[in-house]
Amino acid sequence: MKKLVCILSCFTLLSAAFFLPSTPVYAASAKAEILIEADTGQVMFSQNCDKKLPMASITKTMSLLICAEEIEAGNLALEDKIKASAYASSAEGSVIWLNTGEEMTAAELLEAVIISSANDACIALAEHISGSEAAFVKRMNERAKELGMTDTRYANCVGYDDNLHYSTARDIAIVTAELMKHEVFRGWMLTWLDYLRGGETQLVNTNKLIRTYNGILGGKTGTTDNAGCCLTVCAERGDMRLVAVTLGCADDDERFSSAKELLDYGFGGFEKFTPETDYTQIKPIKVTHGIEQEIIPVIKTQGEECVIKKGRSADVKYEYTFVEQCEAPVEVGQFLGEYLVTLDGAEVFRSEIIATREIPRMNFWKCLWLIVSEMTSF
């Protein structure tokens, strides 16, 4: 009986160890990978995530983001009729063979872009929104700058190889997370097969994970000779929404297996966590040459969630640092210290500690006014 208990105990320990999520194996041929939690932007795993690389049709995540924002702003309607220009109909690569002058609705063109990555449909939408592809691309670059995508440059709206067209895994994760906030395209992103032109044109989704991965919300593939096989995907389980990006894989199978492994690692090994605030650590800070002698600092960002490894909340460390004193005038928002949350020495959350009110500098007239106010109060 004792032997049986011992064997069962050993089996339990081995099983637990076996099923604990390990750090994902870096895809052999992938040039860059990243996994982030979409709501917080927190990086959970990365390899070469800031390396500038060609991105192929993953470019269309930004094209689609602008389309989604135009729809929500009321500037683009799904029923709008759009006529294909000669330039749009001359597009190469993945296309739906638009004829010059052919008219489709914005919904049909968007479906072709999202499901089949149609370059001609994407250019037709870009021309309709901005007047030309060049003007649309300018807007793409402006939006990238607004999102903090500092290592991205777009030269076209579809993803053709170009020395001046590149991004990073980190930046692609940022735009993917932003795009997935808009649910207008969700149905098409999860559609495997559909048809246009009354059944004459078949659309097959290039993202195989929509058929196999639990919680998948959508994503975008991309493939060119220079970029290799690329993928960005978003999935959600419970309160966790993750974005996985893999660039430069050698083949189709590797990009999907790599992204799946990244997502499994995130969902299996991490959880949302809200840092606590120990208000006993918040002490008044001395103010010199002010009409008041001290100020109570405030943590600028409180109550926001972050992501930590599962079951490790008790090991989280908190650090509060403050300036020794500050000289008046004190301005609203002035830096007074820092609040840092770490786990195993790694940062999981950081916020400035600031002043939330002004303290003017003392001068003769303010001093006189204070004396008079004090005297008249008796």
Q: Domain ranges for the chain, please list them.
A: 27-270, 279-364
As annotated, the active-site residues are 57, 60, 117
**Structure confidence by residue, pLDDT tens digits, 167-201:** 999 999 999 999 999 999 999 999 999 999 999 99
Contacts by residues 216-220 (CB-CB < 8 Å, ≥ 24 positions apart): 216/190, 217/180, 217/186, 217/189, 217/190, 217/241, 218/114, 218/180, 218/185, 218/186, 218/189, 218/190, 219/176, 219/189, 219/259, 220/57, 220/58, 220/60, 220/61, 220/64, 220/117, 220/176
Residue 26: band (very low, low, confident or very high) from pLDDT cuts 50, 70, 90: low
pLDDT tens profile 217-232: 999 999 999 999 999 9
Class of domain 279-364: mainly beta
Q: How much is the pLDDT for 3?
A: 41
In this prediction the pTM is: 0.86
CATH topology classification for 27-270? Beta-lactamase (3.40.710)
Q: 224, 56 in Cβ contact below 8 A?
A: yes
Residue 114 to residue 189: CA distance in whole angstroms: 6
**pLDDT band for position 291 (cuts 50, 70, 90):** confident
